[in-house]
Amino acid sequence: MKLALLQAKKNLGNTSDNPAVGCVIVKNNFVMSSGCTGINGRPHAEQNALIYSRNDIKKSNLYVTLEPCSNYGKTSPCVKSIIKSKINKVFFSLKDPDTRSNNKCTKQFKKNRVKVNCGILSSEMKNFYRSYYKSKACGLPFVTAKMAVSKDYYTKNNKGKWITNEFSRGRVHLMRQNHDCVLSSSKTISDDNSSLTCRIMGLEKRSPIRIILDKKLEISTRSTIVKTAYKYRTIIFFNKNNKKKIKTLKNLKIILVKTSLKDDGNFDIKKILFKIKKFGFSRIFLESGLKLTTYFLTEGLIDDLHLFISSKKLGNNGSNNFKKVIKLFSKNIKFVNEKVNLHGDKLITYRFV
Ligand code: AOF
Ligand code: ZN
Which regions of the chain carry the CATH code 3.40.430.10?
139-352
Which regions of the chain carry the CATH code 3.40.140.10?
2-131
User: Are β-strands 283-286 and 142-149 bridged in parallel, bridged antiparallel, or unpaired?
Assistant: parallel
Query: What is the enclosing helix (H) or strand (E) of 173?
Result: helix 166-177
Going by C-alpha positions, the residue among 64, 155, 160, 82 that lies closest to residue 118 is: 64
Q: How many Å is the Cα radius of gyration of the chain?
A: 22
Pocket test for ligand 1, best of 17, 25, 44, 72 (most atoms within 8 A of CB): 44
Active site residue 338: no
**Long-range contacts formed by 233-239: CB under 8 A, 24+ apart:** 233/209, 234/209, 234/210, 235/181, 235/209, 235/210, 235/211, 235/279, 236/186, 236/211, 236/212, 237/211, 237/212, 237/213, 237/267, 237/272, 237/275, 238/214, 239/215, 239/267
Question: Could you read off the pLDDT tens digit of each residue along the chain, which spans 353 residues?
Answer: 999 999 999 999 999 989 999 999 999 999 999 999 999 999 999 999 999 888 899 999 999 999 999 999 899 999 999 999 999 999 999 999 999 999 999 999 999 999 999 999 999 999 999 999 999 999 999 999 999 999 999 999 999 889 999 999 999 999 999 999 999 999 999 988 999 999 999 999 999 999 999 999 999 999 999 999 999 999 999 999 999 999 999 999 999 999 999 999 999 999 999 999 999 999 999 999 999 999 999 999 999 999 999 999 999 999 999 999 999 999 999 999 778 999 999 999 999 98
Residues with Cβ–ion distance below 5 A, ligand 2: 44, 69, 78
The pLDDT of residue 65 is 98
37 lines ligand 1 (CB under 6 A): yes
Single pTM value for the model: 0.94
Task: Find the angle CA(52)-CA(57)-CA(63) to the nearest 5 degrees.
Answer: 80
CA–centroid distance, 37 to ligand 2, in Å, is 9
User: d(Cα 50, Cα 315) in Å, to the nearest integer?
Assistant: 58
280 lines ligand 1 (CB under 6 A): no
What class, spelled out in words, does domain 2-131 have in CATH?
A: alpha beta
Pocket test for ligand 1, best of 69, 76, 103, 125 (most atoms within 8 A of CB): 69
The pLDDT of residue 56 is 92
**Do 232 and 212 contact (CB within 8 A), yes or no?**
no
Query: What is the enclosing helix (H) or strand (E) of 227?
Result: helix 224-227
Going by C-alpha positions, the residue among 288, 285, 342, 352 that lies closest to residue 320 is: 288
| For the CA of 15, the nearest ligand | 1
CA–centroid distance, 18 to ligand 1, in Å, is 6
Q: Is 322 left (phi over 0), alpha (psi -120 to 50) or beta?
A: alpha
Which residue's CA is the closest to the ligand 1 atom numbered 20? Answer: 69
Per CATH, the number for 139-352 is 3.40.430.10
**Do 224 and 247 contact (CB within 8 A), yes or no?**
no
User: d(Cα 134, Cα 140) in Å, to the nearest integer?
Assistant: 7
Which residue's CA is the closest to the ligand 1 atom numbered 4? Answer: 44
Measured from the Cα of 46, ligand 1's closest atom is 2
77 lines ligand 1 (CB under 6 A): no
